[in-house]
C-alpha cells in the first residue's frame, strides 16, 4: 500500500515539474527571439524586462500586443531552437562536459552510452534549475495562464530570473572580455548587462569551469594508469596494453568511493551561490 501511495504522488509531481520546465523554456524562447521581429520598434537597450516588453508591444507596428494566433505561430517556429536554449542558458553545458570527461577518465568508450549521459544531464539540470523554474512559474507562467498579466509582462519577468541565474555563474573576466569586444560602456549593476554580452560570457565561464572539474577528476585515474604502465614495463610486458589492466582498478576505485554520488553531488553544489 505504501508503494502504491508513493507512485501516486510521484506521477503528479513529475508532471508538474515538466510543466514548469516547458513553460520556462517557451517563455525564454519568446524572450530571446521575438525582439528580432520588431523591425519598426525604436532602438532601445535590451538590458531589462521593461525594454523587452516595449519592443514586443510594438511588433505589430501600431503599438498593440501580439495576437494569440501570432503568439502560437512564433512558439511553433521556435521549437527548433529550444534545444540550443537548454544547452546554452542552463546548467546543462557544464554537467554534460564533466560526465563525458569522467567517462574518458575511466577509459570507457561507450559506457555509459550517450543517451544515458544526456538523460542524467537533463534531470540533474532540472534539479539545479528548480529554484529558477519555480520563480518563473510563480511570477510569470501561472499569472499568464490565469490571464492576470499579458505575455509581454510574462516574458519580461522570465527574463529577469534567467538573467540573475546566468549572472551569478559568469566570471567577471569573461564579462569584461565580451564587453570590451562589443565596446559597451561600463555597467552600473549586473542587471544592466545585455543578453548579447551575458550569453557568450556565461557559456565561456561554463566551459572553463567544466574543464577545471574534469581535470580534477582525471588526476586519480591518471596516477593509476602511470602505476600500471610502469609496472608492466618493469615486468617486461610491453606488448600488453596498460589500458586493459588499469581499467578494472579504476572501476574498483570509482565504485569504492561511490564515485557517481560524489560526482553528481559536486556538480549540483558547484552551482550553489
User: How does pLDDT run along the chain (273 residues), one tens digit per residue?
Assistant: 444 444 444 334 444 444 544 454 444 444 444 443 333 333 334 344 444 444 444 444 444 555 677 767 777 777 777 777 777 888 888 999 999 999 888 888 778 888 899 888 888 988 888 888 888 888 888 887 777 878 778 878 888 888 888 888 888 888 888 888 888 888 888 888 888 888 889 999 999 999 999 899 888 888 888 888 888 888 877 777 777 888 888 888 888 888 888 888 888 888 875
Residues whose CB is less than 8 angstroms from the CB of residue 147 and which lie 6 or more positions away in sequence, other chains included: none
Question: What CA–CA distance (Å, rounded) separates 210 from 202?
Answer: 12
Cis peptide before 92, with omega less than 30 degrees from 0?
no
Residues whose CB is less than 8 angstroms from the CB of residue 104 and which lie 6 or more positions away in sequence, other chains included: none
Question: What CA–CA distance (Å, rounded) separates 191 from 189?
Answer: 5
- What pTM did the predictor assign? 0.69
Cell numbers of 98, please? 564533466
Amino acid at each position: 500500500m505504501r508503494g502504491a501511495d508513493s507512485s501516486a504522488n510521484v506521477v503528479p509531481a513529475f508532471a508538474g515539474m515538466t510543466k514548469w520546465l516547458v513553460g520556462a523554456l517557451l517563455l525564454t524562447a519568446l524572450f530571446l527571439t521575438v525582439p528580432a521581429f520588431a523591425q519598426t520598434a525604436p532602438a532601445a537597450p535590451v538590458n531589462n524586462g521593461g525594454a523587452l516588453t516595449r519592443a514586443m508591444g510594438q511588433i505589430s507596428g501600431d503599438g498593440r500586443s501580439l495576437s494569440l494566433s501570432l503568439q502560437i505561430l512564433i512558439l511553433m517556429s521556435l521549437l527548433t531552437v529550444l534545444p540550443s536554449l537548454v544547452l546554452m542558458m542552463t546548467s546543462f553545458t557544464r554537467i554534460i562536459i564533466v560526465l563525458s570527461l569522467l567517462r574518458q577518465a575511466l577509459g570507457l568508450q561507450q559506457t555509459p552510452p550517450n543517451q544515458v549521459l544526456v538523460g542524467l544531464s537533463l534531470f540533474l539540470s532540472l534539479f539545479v534549475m528548480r529554484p529558477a523554474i519555480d520563480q518563473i512559474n510563480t511570477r510569470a507562467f501561472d499569472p499568464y495562464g490565469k490571464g492576470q498579466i499579458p505575455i509581454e509582462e510574462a516574458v519580461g519577468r522570465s527574463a529577469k530570473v534567467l538573467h540573475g541565474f546566468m549572472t551569478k555563474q559568469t566570471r567577471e573576466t569573461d564579462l569584461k572580455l565580451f564587453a570590451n569586444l562589443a565596446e559597451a560602456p561600463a555597467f552600473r549593476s549586473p542587471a544592466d548587462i545585455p543578453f548579447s554580452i551575458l550569453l557568450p560570457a556565461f557559456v565561456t565561464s561554463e566551459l572553463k569551469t567544466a574543464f577545471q572539474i574534469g581535470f580534477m577528476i582525471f588526476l586519480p585515474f591518471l596516477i593509476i594508469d602511470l602505476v600500471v604502465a610502469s609496472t608492466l614495463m618493469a615486468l617486461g610486458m610491453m606488448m600488453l596494453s596498460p589500458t586493459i589492466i588499469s581499467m578494472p582498478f579504476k572501476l574498483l576505485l570509482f565504485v569504492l568511493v561511490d564515485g557517481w554520488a560524489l560526482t553528481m553531488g559536486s556538480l549540483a553544489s558547484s552551482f550553489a551561490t
